[in-house]
Chains A and B, each alone.
Chain A
């Protein structure tokens, strides 16, 4: 019974390139959340998705960032034209119901922009 799986674990991109981060939720979970963690800081909510729907993207930067959770396959967080300030750990979490039940986190993807 695999938990939340994120890949890649580490991703290095040059400024201006695109970064794609993948998250496979716990089997049976239909709610996915993405968080960003800067060094020495807490977890900042970015976006909440259900299958094929973005429920809340209030924490997502308006430009260059997008997220999807298709009917089949993992959730994808996409960052276009990355800048140095995008360097962070990106965590995905999933839950069986809306938040109010336990959310399980993946191992995170550490994005480094050089």
Chain B
């Protein structure tokens, strides 16, 4: 089945700086890669996703890049703000594969230092 590795587990950046979180996946057939943000005690919420037919997608301060050859994808947050502090999860999905459901990375705790 799919295996998703996520790094780093904790990331501390100064407010205004950029943050980058990286994930690798094992199943080359995976073709959908969402990123979820989970604030303390709350539900995970989708912030951006990318499909395997594109290499990059941007939404205001958030961007995701995908390298299918290397099987890795990254989340980039620019001009970080205090409200960006949360746990971020990457995930991979192969809708046609044997194990349905999203496979999540273990999460990155992003801390924005004022």
A-side residues, CB < 8 A to B, are 33, 35, 41-45, 47-48, 55-56, 58-59, 91, 93, 98-100, 102-108
Contact A102 B34 (CB under 8 A): yes
A44 touches B104 (CB 8 A): yes
A41 to B87 Cα, complex, angstroms: 10
The contact size tier of chain B is: 20 to 34
* Alpha-carbon distance between A55 and B42 when the two chains are bound, in angstroms: 27
Cross-chain contact of B44 among A48, A56, A99, A105 (Cβ < 8 A): A105
| B65 close to A (CB within 8 Å) | no
Query: A56 contacts which chain B residues (CB < 8 A)?
Result: 98-101
Q: List 13 A-B contacts (CB under 8 A).
A: A42-B107, A43-B89, A47-B101, A48-B100, A48-B101, A58-B1, A58-B98, A91-B43, A93-B102, A99-B32, A100-B93, A103-B46, A107-B42
The answer to whether the Cβ of B95 comes within 8 Å of any Cβ in the partner chain is: yes
**Residue ranges of B at the interface with A (Cβ–Cβ < 8 Å):** 1, 6, 31-32, 34, 36, 42-46, 49, 51, 89, 93, 95, 98-107
Q: Which residues of A contact B34 (CB under 8 A)?
A: 102-103
Residues of A within 8 A of B99 (CB): 45, 56, 58-59
